[in-house]
Structure 1
Amino acid sequence: MKKRITVEILSSYKFLKVPKELIFNLEKYSKLSTTAILAYSLLFDRLELSAKNGWINDDGEIYIKFKRDIISRLVRVKSKTTISNVFKELKAVELIEERQVGLNMANEIYLLQTEFSENQISDEEILNIDTNISKASETAEIHGSPFFGRPENGLQEVQKMDPNKTNIIKTNIINKKEPPNGGILHEAVIKNYSDCISEKMSALERTVLIELQKAAGYELLIKAILIAAMHNNRNLAYIRTTLKDWIGKGLRTSEEVDGYLAEWSVLNKKAKTNRELKVKKGANSKVLNFRRTKRLTFP
């Protein structure tokens, strides 16, 4: 029988470090795969050893010598193409840089600092995301919601929604009771996320979705997922910001959100009409001025 970990044994374990920004900064790192995060953690773990080996350039920057085939084995990746894509992921979000030194020699790998975002999920939100979303919505400066623009009259402009797409949102929400355990992700959320956002859900994505489900309920979460897909913003940051916008406006049910979108649709139509009239009036004024100028110049 396997022995359970005790307090005494716990201190003897060594762990890889994962910068919190890679987990909670969903704006920049939301598309980073778990394999890429693990690879960065492995590289980060080598920094201290590299410093001891004197692998430091003239600017005091530490570099790592780590062959890709070794990293590939450690992150449980067999394909050279896959590990190459992992490095491309890390470079795309400015987490690493590589410097070639010679044939059959390991590249010098430089780790770049992670970026903090004002909008990233905080420790407090993880503990009580519902309270923090409400507070954030009340205090943060809102520059328009993720699917709203802002026309000249100051009203937020709702993008026109196809009625059929609205029906899709309604029919995709399976009419089942909320899971009794707050730590269980509703099966309808899993299905819609898999169909619309990502076929494979990582452990991190599941954790964030569970917290969002606790904050907003599974029906609103599904609606936010579908809207994210409709607007081709398939990431958790967009979904979270959408829910934050709704909750900040006191919308807690699917019906309230539908009513809100319908109301803004009417206001948007009026704003659009006003803009068209203003443009038309401006064009007519230019034509009139041109005719007056022509009469004055050529009597």
Structure 2
Amino acid sequence: MDFDYFYGRDAESFRFIRLPIVLIEDETFKSLSIDAKVLYSMYLSRSTLSYKNNWVDENGRVYIYFTVEETAAQLACGIKKAVKLIKDLEKIGLITKKRAGQGNPTKIYVKDFMSIFRNEELRSIKRENQDLSKGQVKNGDFDNSRVAKKESLDLSKRQPNHL
């Protein structure tokens, strides 16, 4: 085939999945096949859409729906290979599946591949920021503002009413 070149902004007009380089370079993920890594990248992409659609469980965790049949179709492989790829991702801990009952699709929780590289202190800060109490506002994902501290009222300076 004789494919044409990209001209100007044409190169920006396509949907892409992102394959994090750490999945290729880090020893932790060396056992995963490139097909499993591509599937995980597809899951990451779907997670973004799930978040926008508010597919979040009672614990605030985003989940996706991605069937075995859809996996096989997207990766142009058989059902057995699709099942194996999903199991490989589950075995290494990049996803967790939760069955939703008879006739309902299985929820897939896509886990944060970078979480194993962060220290415990950063994880606790992340959880703290997600649990904003009533009266506290977070303006955006990249908000640098601080949460206002509630200070107790100092009543000792006031004089009581005596009738």
TM bin, normalised by shorter chain, reads: 0.5 to 0.7
Partner of 1:62: 62
Distance 2:103 2:20 in 1: 31
Partner of 1:105: 104
Structure-2 change in CA distance of 1:102 and 1:113 (3 Å): same
* Greater relative contact order structure (CA < 8 Å, 6+ sep): 1
Partner of 1:165: none
Please tell me the residue identity of whatever aligns with 1:32.
L
How far off its partner does 1:110 sit?
0.3
Distance 2:35 2:80 in 1: 13
Structure-2 change in CA distance of 1:68 and 1:100 (3 Å): same
1:1-299 maps to which residues of 2 (within 5 A)? Answer: 2-25=3-26, 27-78=27-78, 80-115=79-114
How far off its partner does 1:85 sit?
1.0
TM-score by length of 1: 0.37
8 A contact 1:19–1:114 mirrored in 2: no
Give a deviation string over 1:202-228, Cα, whole Å, max 9, x none. xxxxxxxxxxxxxxxxxxxxxxxxxxx
Distance 1:92 1:67 in 2: 18
User: How many residues matched?
Assistant: 116
Off by >3 Å, runs of 4+ in structure 1 = 115-118
Please tell me the residue identity of whatever aligns with 2:40.
Y
Indicate the RMSD between aligned Cα atoms, in angstroms: 1.9
Please tell me the residue identity of whatever aligns with 1:18.
L
Please tell me the residue identity of whatever aligns with 2:111.
L
Distance 1:8 1:113 in 2: 32
How far off its partner does 1:104 sit?
2.9
Distance 1:117 1:105 in 2: 32
Identity of aligned residues (%): 24
Distance 1:65 1:101 in 2: 11
Rg larger in structure: 1
Please tell me the residue identity of whatever aligns with 2:52.
K
Give a deviation string over 1:153-193, Cα, whole Å, max 9, x none. xxxxxxxxxxxxxxxxxxxxxxxxxxxxxxxxxxxxxxxxx
Structure-2 change in CA distance of 1:58 and 1:116 (3 Å): closer
Distance 1:50 1:63 in 2: 7
* Higher-helix-fraction structure: 1
Give a deviation string over 1:226-254, Cα, whole Å, max 9, x none. xxxxxxxxxxxxxxxxxxxxxxxxxxxxx
How far off its partner does 1:98 sit?
0.3
Distance 1:71 1:62 in 2: 19
Structure-2 change in CA distance of 1:8 and 1:61 (3 Å): same
Gaps of 5+ in 1: 119-299
